Every structure is written in C-alpha cells, then in structure tokens.
C-alpha cells in the first residue's frame, strides 16, 4: 500500500473513531453547568435558591454613594467589576438562546430564565433615571490591582454613567437590545414584566440614538483598555433597532435598520485599525462588533417572509459563513491542528462560541427556506453549518488533542487553576475572616488547584497550537467570561436534543472535514520545532542581562554585573541589556530591541503559550531600565560604558574594570534618534502591559509621551552630541527624523491621541533614506507597515503604496526586487550581521500578510500578484534557513538542533564562568580564550549569530565578528516570527 493511501486510510479510521467519540458528550449535563456558571458571577443579594453556595452576597452598596440602587448584575469575568457593555451583550445572547432553543432546554429552562432576569432587573435599575444610563460599576484599576473575593471588596465602587453631555451610544444601544430581546422571552411568561422591559428598551434606544457618541471618549481610561469599543457605536444602534423591530414590529425600527446598514462598513473602517477584522466587518461578531449578528438576525425575518428583497443582509450573512468554513475559498479564520476555530484577539473561545451560535441559527433559518450557501464552487448545506458548529462544541467539551474539557466541572479533565478571584480564594464558609486587597496574592501565585469549582465556566482556551497552560497568570487562556458562556447555552440546548447522525455519509463528511482541518498531518514529520526555538530565543535575553540578576534567572552561568552603572553622574543606571558580545549598554539598539519585543508580543503573544511570561519578563527588563534612563527631566541617558576601552578588552561582564562612562543627551546636546526610539519602546510596551499591569502601563505611556516631546523639541543627532560614544559602533547613518515619526506612530497606537497621527502624516513624506529599510537605524518600512491597518481602505495612501513597494523589493519573483538571495535561499542586504535583515524583514512580511488578509488584499508587483500566504511562505523560508534548512545543515541559533555555532563572538560565553573559575580575569587575560579554537565554555542558548556569507559559507570563529556575533536586535523580531509559526502545521503553506 502506498504512503499516501496508508495516510488516507489511517486518517479515515481516525476520523471514524473521533466521530464515535462525538456521540459520547453529554450535552444535557454541559447545558446544566453552562447555566449554573452565571450564579457564580452574580453580584448583589443572592437569592435563597442560589445553587452555587460558596458564593455569598457582594456589592451591596453599589450606587449608594450617588443615591442610586445599582445592586445586582454580573461580574463579567474573573474580576469584581460590573462592565455593562459585555454584560448587556451576554444578556442579549442568553435571550436569543432561549428564543431560538428554549424548547430544547427541558428542566434547565427555568434556570436560564432566572439568569436572564438577574441581568434585566439590574438593567432596569441602570436605566431608571431619565437622561442617564449607568455603564459600569467599580474602578477597574483599583479592582485589577487586588486579588480578593467579591464578598470582601474594599476597592472603589465608582458608578460611571453616560448622559446627554457624555454619551455612550454603544453600551446604551446594547442594553436596549438586551431589554428588547428579553421582553420577547418573557412575553408569554410574565406579560407585565415583558411590557416594562420593552418600554424601557425603546426609551434607552432613543437616548442612545439621540445623543450619539462613544463612551471611549467620554469615560476614557475607565473603560479603555478593558472594554474599549474598537468598532464604533453604529453597529450597536442598528443591532438595537433590529431587536426592537423583532420585538415590536414597528416599521420605524425596520426603516432605521435599512437606512443605516449601508453606512456600517465605512463607519467600521473609520473606527478601527485592528487586525481582528479578518474577512471584513460582516465576518465579525462579539461584545464589540455586531455586524454578522445583525445580518443573521435580520435574515430570519426576511427568509420567513419569503421576501425577494434581501438587501445586504442575506448576501453578507452568506459571506460570513464562507469566511468560517474551512473548505471555503474565502475562509478568513484559521483553525488549530485539532480543529478549533481561531480569530485574532484575546480569549479565543468567545469567537468559537459566538460564531458557532450564528452558524447554528443561520442553518436553521436557511433550512426552513430550503436554502444553501454558495462559497465560490463550494456549496454549504444547513447540515454542514451545524456539523461545523458541533465540531467547535465538541472541541470545547474534550474532543481535542489534550482530551481536556475547557468547561470547568465537565468531564474528567478540565482547568483547575482558572483566573478567577472568587474561585481561587477560600470561600467565606471555609475562611470567614476577611481577605484584603493584597492578602489574596499568595492564592493567585499558588500552583494549587482553585478551592471552589466555578462549575460550567468556559475559559479562554488553548493557543492556536492546541497547547494550554493551566495557570492563573495566563489570564488570556484561563479566565472565563459571561459572553463565552451565553451563546454556548443555545448551542448546548440544540445539541442536547439533536444527537449526531452516525450513518456512513455522516462519517465520511466528518472525515472530509477533519482532513481539511489537517488532523491527519500528525502522521507527517514536523521539520522544525518552532516551539523549542521560541523558548530558546527568549531565554537568550537572560544571557544579555546587565545588573542584579533575579532569583528566577535560568541562564545560571551569568552573574551580577555593572552594579555601579550611572554612579559617575549620580544616577542609578543598573540593569538593561548588553547589545551583543561586548559589555556596553548601547541604548539606541536596546530600545529598538525592546520595541520589537513588544510588537512581537502584541501580534503573536497568544501563540507563545508558556513562553509568554518569559517574553514579558524580557520586555520589562528593558522598560524598567528605560524608566531609569529617562527619570530626570530635560535629559535622556543614551549609553553606559566606554566602547573604546571595552572593545580593547576580552573579559567577563562580571569582571569589568573598563570605564563605565554614562553618556547623556540633553537640550543643548540633543539625541533625537535614541530618545524617540526609547519613546517608541515605552509606548509599544505600554500597550502590552495594558491588560496585565495597568498602573505600570500608564507609567510607561506617560513617560513615552514626555520623552517624545523632549526628542521632538530639541532636535539633533547623538552622532554629534556624544561623538565617539556612538560612532562608529551605532552611528545613526539614516538621520533622526524616521525615529521621530516611528515614535509618534507608536504613541498614536498607544493613546489614540490625534496629534500623534497628525505628526505622522505631516512628516512621513519628508523622510530621507529608503522605504525598503528596517532595523535599529532605519525605521521607514516599519512605519509604513505599523500604520497600514489605519489606512488600509484609503486608496493611494502613501503608507500602503510604500508598504507594497517594500514587499515587492523582497519577493524573489518580483520585477522590482532589490535584495539578493544566497544559493541556499537566504535573504541578503548590504551591511554587517546579515541575519538582522532576515529576521526583521521576515517579521514585517508576516505582520503585513496578516493585515492584508484582514483587508482581503494582495500586493501587485508589476505583473506578479503576491497573496498574503506568499508573504508568509517567503518568511518561512528564512526562518527554516536559520534553523537548519540550508546547504551546511547548520542551525544559526545556538543550542537549537544537533549542529550550531560553537565559537561565537561573545565574551561571557567564551570565558569560563565564575562558577568554574572564581578569580578575576583582567582586560587582556581573556585574549587566549578569544583566539583559541576550542568551543565556547558556556552555551548562550537561543543566540542567533550574524550568519553565513552570501554563498552560504560560515567560518565558525570568534575573530569574524560580523558573522559569529549575536545581538539582541537579531532575536527580538525572531521571537514574534517563531511564535507565529509555532502554532501552524508544517504543511500549512507547503
């Protein structure tokens, strides 16, 4: 039997086994638990019927400081804040679940109704004062700084309201939608209550529409970055009108929907530059974006009436389906190797449950009209949509590579250490004494399972490689939310009474589906272990640390060094990184390294798994240092260490006796390039920490703005200001204006302050240098790609034009290619340490490919059309070359693979460690270690060296610094590239 045939047969057998396993899920039990979860999220005075008894009363004074009763409602996730925007969306989805699938809920229906009424009772309070809508209760910064039970809360419980003067149309309209949908749920069960909900829904909608504006602008940091409305408020207004039309049949609401739907696309384009809009806004649905939900909700009205005028609703609903189907030619989501649907953005299970709900709802609407969906030459029947939705549900319940249920309390294996304060702390029953703000920190840090089961909670889930670290600290993956569970309630209700068919056709269909999702690829060898390479690429930064090393230092041959840095000018400049194989702290490339590490985490952090925490530590090691370097007004420390004396010596950083001169730039001796790059690093890092350490994030953001202002006000190059300290080591050949625009671009991304965008637009056309360059010296290509999502839909934008030209300069088949390639396929550009080009430019290719994919664009290089997948393919060839797919069969990452550089140009690595040789090694005493042909004594794991020449040759010698020396700015972009490929199948792009 041939290899292909054996793989196909084994794949079908695997699929048949998996189909058999699908039937083993107890959807009824999962439904019961998914609804029970909402009792664990209750705020306020708990009822006597409370079944999750470890929870007690909490938030009983909410609203009382302003004379309004705001007791009740739900905590959104693992914290103790009541964010009304996602709470309202959860309520709408619970109501939709009951409306469409309540007949299938059996004895769980009363509990589902209780869950809805717990929210609607609260929203009646939140909308009880005319002219005001309360949008949040609880200071998120105070709350997120504490780890305490809701029953013990002593953080500020500030109420936040929208009003005529300070509008919040998105949250107000979502509350209107929730009340309208819930009114239909209670219409036959409690007519008086239903009428009250509907009346209030109309009032709140009128308020939202009459006083238009986003709560982003009116409440600012109190809602952002927690539940910032990225897509604008117009979609919530149409969503609210659609639900009011369904609830009232009043023509004015239908007219509102029809009149405003056509403007929605351009409004979304106006409000967002996120990568998350893969496939266009019609493909999005969640607490922030309602577009796909609007189209499918309205399609039911149109299909049930057999209307011939489908408007944009049914075509867009069909297009949404085509973005999700794995076999569709226009699929824009990705799937993990185990088959889990993935979209960019945190807490991925919210996408899996919300989009699966829409698939199931649309399948039923289409089935009633005998419709099919056509995705090019692919025809999707309603049964196919249901099959795909079931696949997502089954994955969540345990049919996945880890055989783990991601619903707490369901199955034998489920998350035990979820990011949830109430669940992780001992209950009041077991520990009656109060646990204050910081008193719960040991429970957060503990590796013990949570003492209280938050039964039914669905967590954020695994990464896109199906890996899951059961850790409270990894909140993106381990935190449950109400808006993950709410649509899952409807899905489970349907599948509770609709078991999967087990006929031959069903088995074959499942086999085809799983083959499309790549499950049988597990029989093929994976040529590169990107996860191992990622781990090592981050570990390398520990080998470059300067200062007092922490207790958790893993590269233990390194010890404390340079503990008196900055003392010559009375500053504490201990810390930071050595840039390469020497012992100088050059802040210009160090700042660029920090910016690229931050960008790597922002784009690909969710794919890093357990390595994310180490990446964050590496980033913070840089930002903590730059806060010191910028701590005195009117000056910025640009460098520590005399490079001339340092480069004369070959000694360990632990033994340094060379000059540790501190070089500063100030108002009379400016250094705009280094100052602006530090501003960029701080701004980018502030975004990274915005959901992890918000106070620290604010400190970084404020300092970034101050440093940028200094860099821009006192313009000039540090080439002239610090002279030999900078040149010829890190001389700024490209001028400082690109760093100023780069810094402004990052500050705009971090703050959304229009003045920074104005600065970028005003100055981009005046930059010198090449639009094809990107590295520690030149930022042009990086600027164009960084801002491209903001202007992707603006024809003729200089940023998009130049970003496209950059791509065309790299593609081997492009008529305007300006780089060269070695015989073995390595990208080459003039200048030393060539792999810095391969890693940084590959990073840009992958980032831009994702932005292009989100905008459904390709790049045209003359007659050559480059799709997003082509950009990824080119980047992958560079990554694989670095990891060993090259003529020498050598990995250029130290410690990765069986063959890698052994004699790298690095002082600390080549000299014996203080563990094995305790005596001081003086300036010239290390020369014998420099010139010896023996391998380095300490393995600098993860270090990427300068690499081979343009004929794929590599002399493994310390004396050839341009090829054998590692640098931090080689590794920083490679961290992001490796994180991206870590989760992809090796055969995904050929």
Q: What is the pLDDT of residues 912-932, one digit of tens each?
A: 999 999 999 999 999 999 999
Separation of alpha carbons 242 and 236, rounded Å: 10
Confidence at residue 270, expressed as pLDDT on a 0 to 100 scale:
44
The predicted-structure confidence for 418-474, as pLDDT tens digits, reads as follows: 999 999 999 999 999 999 999 999 999 999 999 999 999 999 999 988 999 899 999
Question: Which range has the worst mean pLDDT, 231-240, 299-308, 472-481, 550-559?
Answer: 299-308
Which residue in the list 271, 420, 905, 906 is annotated as catalytic? 905
Range 759-778 average pLDDT: 87
Would you place residue 266 in the very low, low, confident or very high pLDDT band (cuts 50, 70, 90)?
low
Residue 222 pLDDT > 80:
yes
- Contact call for residues 190 and 243 (beta carbons, < 8 A): no
Separation of alpha carbons 729 and 645, rounded Å: 13
Confidence at residue 932, expressed as pLDDT on a 0 to 100 scale:
92
- Contact call for residues 246 and 305 (beta carbons, < 8 A): no
Confidence at residue 231, expressed as pLDDT on a 0 to 100 scale:
87
- Contact call for residues 615 and 689 (beta carbons, < 8 A): no
Is 479 noted as a catalytic residue in this protein?
yes
Confidence at residue 727, expressed as pLDDT on a 0 to 100 scale:
86
Separation of alpha carbons 657 and 642, rounded Å: 11
Residue bearing the bigger pLDDT, 726 or 932: 932
Residue 41 pLDDT > 60:
yes
Question: Which range has the worst mean pLDDT, 347-356, 438-447, 793-802, 957-966?
Answer: 793-802
Residue 512 pLDDT > 70:
no
The predicted-structure confidence for 513-563, as pLDDT tens digits, reads as follows: 433 443 333 323 336 889 999 999 999 999 999 999 999 999 999 999 999
Residue 273 pLDDT > 50:
no
Distance from chain centroid for Cα 225: 13
Confidence at residue 282, expressed as pLDDT on a 0 to 100 scale:
79
Cβ neighbors of 471 (< 8 A, separation 6 or more) are 417, 477, 478, 610
CA atoms within 13 A on the CB side of 774: 29
Q: What is the overall mean pLDDT for the chain?
A: 90
327-340 exposure pattern, b = at least 16 Cβ within 10 A, e = fewer: bbebbbbbbbbbbb
Secondary structure element (H or E) that encloses residue 341, with its range = strand 341-342
Separation of alpha carbons 944 and 539, rounded Å: 12
Most confident of 123-132, 222-231, 368-377, 858-867: 123-132
For the segment(s) 22-259+439-445, the CATH number from 1.20.120.330, 1.10.3720.10, 1.10.1200.10, 1.50.10.10 is: 1.50.10.10
- Contact call for residues 264 and 293 (beta carbons, < 8 A): no
Is 419 noted as a catalytic residue in this protein?
yes
Is 470 noted as a catalytic residue in this protein?
yes
Separation of alpha carbons 962 and 610, rounded Å: 33
Range 240-246 average pLDDT: 97
Secondary structure element (H or E) that encloses residue 544, with its range = none
Would you place residue 988 in the very low, low, confident or very high pLDDT band (cuts 50, 70, 90)?
very low
Confidence at residue 21, expressed as pLDDT on a 0 to 100 scale:
37
DSSP state string for 235-288 = HHHHHHHHHHHHHH--HHHHHHHHHHHTTHHHHHHHH---TT-TT-GGG--SSS
Residue bearing the bigger pLDDT, 120 or 24: 120
Look up residue 258 and give its two tokens. 């029809």
Which residue in the list 479, 565, 579, 739 is annotated as catalytic? 479
Which residue in the list 144, 419, 477, 906 is annotated as catalytic? 419
Beta bridge partners of residue 893, listed in sequence order:
944
Question: Which range has the worst mean pLDDT, 76-90, 152-166, 250-264, 650-664?
Answer: 250-264
Look up residue 693 and give its two tokens. 């350490």
Confidence at residue 518, expressed as pLDDT on a 0 to 100 scale:
39
159: helix, strand or coil:
strand
Confidence at residue 963, expressed as pLDDT on a 0 to 100 scale:
94
Cα distances from 850 to residues 533, 686, 872, in angstroms, run 22, 22, 9
Write the DSSP symbol of residue 988.
T
Confidence at residue 280, expressed as pLDDT on a 0 to 100 scale:
39
CA atoms within 13 A on the CB side of 81: 24
Instruction: Give the start-end residues of each E strand in 2-87.
Output: 82-83
Cβ neighbors of 626 (< 8 A, separation 6 or more) are 576, 587, 591, 594, 678, 681, 682, 703
Separation of alpha carbons 276 and 280, rounded Å: 9
Which residue in the list 470, 529, 560, 949 is annotated as catalytic? 470
CA dihedral 565, 567, 572, 576 (to 10 degrees): -10
Confidence at residue 511, expressed as pLDDT on a 0 to 100 scale:
38
The predicted-structure confidence for 366-391, as pLDDT tens digits, reads as follows: 988 889 999 998 899 999 999 999 99
Confidence at residue 24, expressed as pLDDT on a 0 to 100 scale:
67
Residue 986 pLDDT > 70:
no
Range 877-897 average pLDDT: 95
Beta bridge partners of residue 341, listed in sequence order:
335
Is 374 noted as a catalytic residue in this protein?
no
């Amino acid at each position: 039997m041939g290899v292909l045939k054996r793989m196909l047969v084994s794949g079908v057998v695997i699929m048949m086994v998996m189909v058999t396993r699908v039937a083993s899920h107890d959807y009824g039990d999962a439904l019961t638990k998914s609804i029970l979860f909402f009792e664990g999220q209750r705020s306020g005075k708990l009822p006597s019927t409370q079944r999750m008894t470890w929870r007690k009363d909490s938030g009983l004074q909410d609203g009382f400081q302003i004379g309004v009763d705001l007791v009740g409602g739900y905590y959104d996730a693992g914290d103790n804040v009541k964010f009304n925007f996602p709470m309202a969306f959860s309520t709408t989805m619970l109501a939709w679940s009951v409306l469409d699938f309540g007949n299938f809920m059996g004895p769980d229906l009363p509990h589902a109704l209780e869950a809805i009424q717990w929210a609607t009772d609260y929203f009646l309070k939140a909308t009880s004062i005319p002219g005001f809508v309360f949008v949040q209760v609880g200071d998120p910064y105070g709350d997120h700084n504490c780890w305490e039970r809701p029953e013990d809360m002593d953080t500020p419980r500030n109420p936040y309201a929208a009003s005529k003067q300070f509008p919040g149309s998105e949250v107000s309209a979502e509350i209107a939608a929730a009340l309208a949908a819930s009114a239909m749920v209670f219409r036959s069960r409690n007519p008086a209550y239903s009428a009250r909900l509907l009346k209030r829904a109309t009032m709140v909608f009128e308020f939202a529409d009459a006083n238009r504006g986003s709560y982003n602008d009116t409440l600012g940091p109190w809602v952002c970055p927690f539940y910032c409305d990225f897509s604008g408020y117009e979609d919530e207004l149409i969503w609210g009108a659609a639900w009011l039309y369904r609830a009232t049949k009043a023509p004015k609401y239908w007219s509102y929907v029809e009149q405003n739907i056509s403007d929605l696309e351009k409004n979304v384009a106006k409000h967002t530059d996120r990568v998350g809009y893969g496939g266009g806004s019609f493909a999005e649905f969640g607490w922030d974006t309602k577009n796909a939900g609007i189209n499918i909700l309205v399609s039911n009205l149109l299909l049930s009436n057999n209307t011939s005028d489908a408007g944009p609703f049914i075509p867009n609903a069909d297009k949404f389906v085509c973005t999700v189907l794995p076999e569709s030619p226009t699929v824009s989501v990705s799937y993990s190797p185990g088959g889990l649907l993935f979209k960019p953005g945190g807490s991925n299970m919210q996408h899996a449950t919300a989009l699966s709900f829409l698939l199931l709802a649309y399948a039923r609407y289409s089935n009633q009209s005998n419709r099919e969906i056509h995705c090019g030459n692919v025809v999707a029947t309603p049964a196919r949509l249901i099959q795909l939705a079931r696949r997502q549900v089954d994955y969540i319940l345990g049919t996945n590579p880890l055989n783990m249920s991601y619903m707490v309390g369901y199955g034998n294996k489920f998350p035990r250490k979820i990011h949830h304060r109430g669940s992780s702390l001992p209950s009041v029953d077991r520990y009656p004494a109060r646990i204050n703000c910081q008193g719960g920190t040991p429970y957060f840090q503990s590796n013990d399972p949570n003492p209280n089961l938050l039964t039914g909670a669905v967590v954020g889930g695994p990464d896109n490689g199906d890996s899951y670290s059961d850790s409270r600290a990894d909140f993106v993956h381990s935190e449950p939310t109400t808006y993950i569970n709410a649509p899952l309630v409807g899905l489970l209700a349907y599948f509770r009474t609709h078991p999967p068919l087990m006929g031959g056709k069903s088995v074959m269909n499942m086999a085809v589906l799983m083959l499309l999702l790549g499950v049988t690829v597990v029989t093929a060898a994976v040529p590169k272990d990107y996860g191992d390479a990622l781990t090592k690429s981050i570990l390398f930064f520990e080998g470059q640390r300067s200062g007092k090393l922490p207790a958790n230092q893993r590269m233990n041959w390194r010890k404390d060094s340079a503990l008196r840095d900055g003392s010559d000018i009375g500053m504490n400049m201990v810390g930071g990184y050595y840039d390469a194989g020497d012992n100088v702290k050059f802040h210009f490339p160090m700042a660029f390294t920090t910016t690229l590490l931050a960008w790597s985490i922002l784009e690909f952090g969710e794919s890093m798994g357990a390595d994310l925490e180490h990446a964050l530590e590496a980033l913070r090691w840089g930002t903590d240092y730059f806060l010191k370097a910028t701590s005195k007004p009117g000056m910025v420390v640009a460098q520590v260490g005399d490079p001339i004396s340092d480069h004369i010596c070959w000694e360990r950083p632990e033994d340094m006796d060379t000059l540790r001169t501190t070089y500063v730039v100030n108002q009379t001796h400016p250094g705009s390039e280094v100052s602006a790059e530090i501003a960029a690093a701080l701004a980018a890092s502030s975004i990274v920490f915005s959901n992890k350490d918000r106070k620290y994030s604010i400190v970084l953001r404020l300092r970034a703005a101050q440093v940028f202002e200094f860099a821009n006000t006192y313009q000039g190059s540090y080439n002239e200001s610090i002279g030999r300290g900078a040149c010829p080591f890190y001389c700024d050949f490209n001028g400082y204006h690109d760093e100023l625009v780069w810094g402004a671009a990052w500050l705009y991304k971090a703050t959304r302050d229009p003045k920074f965008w104005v600065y970028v637009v005003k100055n981009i056309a005046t930059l010198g240098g090449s639009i094809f360059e990107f590295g520690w010296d030149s930022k042009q290509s990086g600027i164009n790609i960084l801002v491209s999502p903001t202007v992707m839909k603006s024809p003729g934008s200089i940023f998009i034009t130049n970003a496209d030209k950059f791509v065309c300069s790299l593609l081997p088949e492009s008529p305007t290619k300006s780089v060269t390639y070695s015989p073995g396929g390595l990208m080459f550009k003039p200048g030393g340490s060539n792999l810095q080009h391969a890693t940084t430019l590959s990073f840009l290719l992958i980032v831009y490919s994702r932005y292009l994919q989100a905008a459904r664009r390709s790049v045209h290089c003359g007659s050559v059309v480059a799709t997003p997948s082509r950009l990824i393919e080119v980047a992958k060839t560079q990554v694989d070359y670095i990891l060993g797919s090259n003529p020498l069969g050598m990995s250029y990452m130290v410690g990765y693979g069986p063959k890698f550089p052994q004699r790298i140009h690095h002082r600390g690595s080549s000299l014996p460690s203080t563990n094995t040789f305790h005596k001081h090694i003086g300036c010239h005493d290390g020369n014998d270690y420099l010139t010896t042909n023996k391998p380095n004594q300490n393995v600098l794991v993860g270090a990427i060296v300068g690499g081979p020449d343009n004929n794929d040759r590599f002399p493994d010698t310390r004396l050839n610094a341009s090829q054998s020396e590692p640098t931090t700015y080689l590794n920083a972009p490679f961290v992001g590239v490796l994180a991206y490929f870590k989760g992809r199948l090796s055969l995904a792009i050929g």
